[in-house]
Structure 1
Amino acid sequence: MSERDSSSSGRAKAAPRAKTSGQAPFGAFVRKPVERAAGRAQAQLAEAGSGVAEMRAETAESWPADAVEVGAIVDAYGLKGWVKVAAHADAGRGGDALLSAERWWLLKGHERKSAPSLQAKTHGDSVVAHLGGVTDRDVAQALRGSRVYIRRSEFPALKADEFYWVDLLGLDVVNIAGVNLGKVADMIDNGAHSVMRIEYPATDKNGKPVAGERLIPFVGVFVKTVDQAAKQIIVEWEADY
């Protein structure tokens, strides 16, 4: 998901000891991805002969409402139709969704396609995959530059103290005194942990409205509660910090 965030795609790290409420939260891309079980992959490969596993054209109307960009196809891999993907989070994190999703949604320019993921695995710092309907290297190379989307509903569920960045964007941030500090506009990975970039209404020296900004580390010492149902994060942070 440094980790690239060209869209609102979610990558996150855990906020240790942060409390949660409401629905079971989803977590960070923090676990090493596990390759899809061989039996499952073989079953999907068997479907290819019936046409179920073929690539299909999509439109804006058929595109999933919960599609989240997680990477981009950067090259063909081998001679048998595999593709190489640069995940927006590194393969040890963003690869989780790429490896577990049943179907990939591809956007290249204005062209939309989708294909079942027949097999996917990590390869160095990338993810390589065999998609339905991609039968040789030439077809795979034609997909270079495609942005890869996964349905949010297919993201792996993680521990209660971990969150996907995409689920934090837009949440109100309020301190323990009840002062609204703004909304989460972006998430940043500084190497040690995630940082919330929060925007709030402000004025410049001429009195014109501008977007103010504050950065709060997404760690348990500052993040006290993440309530996704209430769309709110409670932090121990003063407005004048």
Structure 2
Amino acid sequence: MERRRIVLGRISGLFGVQGWVKVFSDTRPRDEIARYSSVQLGQSGQWREAGVEAGRAHGKGVIMKFQGCDDRDAAAALIGQEIAVWRDQLAALPDGEYYWADLLGLEVVTVDGVHLGVVGDMLETGANDVIVVNGDRERLIPYVPGDVVRNVDLETRTITVDWDPEFQ
């Protein structure tokens, strides 16, 4: 099986003068991105391994320090780079919980067998997550397990939803 790279966030700015950077994290909780000892840094399809020396929540964000990045100039060179890990580095989840990255590209069908399209993106709205389905048109379907989302099958790469195909 091919290893998949999962982007967890990106370097957004400088923090101090000793090589620390500000990080925009897509993980929940936000500081989960700093728990990895090794990540990949990349930009424009070019990736390299990087050791994480330290990281923590700071205010509403996250700060991190990478091995070999010991001053402000070295840190400045990292701004804009994405932070990723291999899919197999992610922690196992309880049954019924899924990483968004695992849902992207899955086929979405209704309980009546109507094909709606594929998951193109996921959105966080506060009330519940939303599946962005790309098919004959874009549909926004609430990710509400049991009510709207009836089944997620990673083996067959399908999500079954209780959703009116004519809605939206």
Which among 229, 232, 236 is matched to residue 155 of structure 2?
Answer: 229
Q: 1:111 deviation in Å? A: 5.2
* 1:214 pairs with one of 136, 139, 149: 139
Distance 1:173 1:109, change over 3 A: closer
What is the CA distance between 1:117 and its match in structure 2?
0.9
Deviation at 1:110?
Answer: 6.4
Task: Name the counterpart of 1:188.
Answer: 123
Aligned counterpart, 1:145: 80
Q: Percent identity, aligned pairs only?
A: 34
Rounded to whole Å, the distance in 2 between the matches of 1:237 and 1:109 is 38
Unaligned runs of 5+ in 1: 1-63, 202-211
Measured in 2, the distance between the counterparts of 1:92 and 1:169 equals 18
Name the CA distance, whole Å, in 1 between partners of 2:69 and 2:79.
Answer: 12
Query: What is the DSSP-based 3-state SS (H/G/I as helix, E as strand, rest coil) of the residue aligned with 1:99?
Result: helix
2:67 maps to 132
Within 2, Cα distance between the matches of 1:112 and 1:176?
A: 41
Q: Which amino acid aligns with 2:143?
A: F
Displacement, 1:235?
A: 1.2
TM-superposed CA distance for 1:226, in Å, is 0.7
| Residue of structure 2 equivalent to 1:45 | none
1:71 aligns with 9
> Could you state the TM-score of these two structures normalised by the residue count of structure 2?
0.86
More strand by share: 2
1:240 corresponding residue in structure 2: 166
- Contact 1:100–1:155, Cα closer than 8 Å, also in 2: no
| TM superposition shift of 1:116 | 0.9
Distance apart, 1:80 and its partner CA: 2.4
Cα distance in structure 1, aligned partners of 2:133 and 2:36? 31
Between the aligned partners of 1:196 and 1:151, the Cα distance in structure 2 is 23
Give 2:29's aligned residue.
93
Structure 2: runs of 5+ lacking an equivalent: none
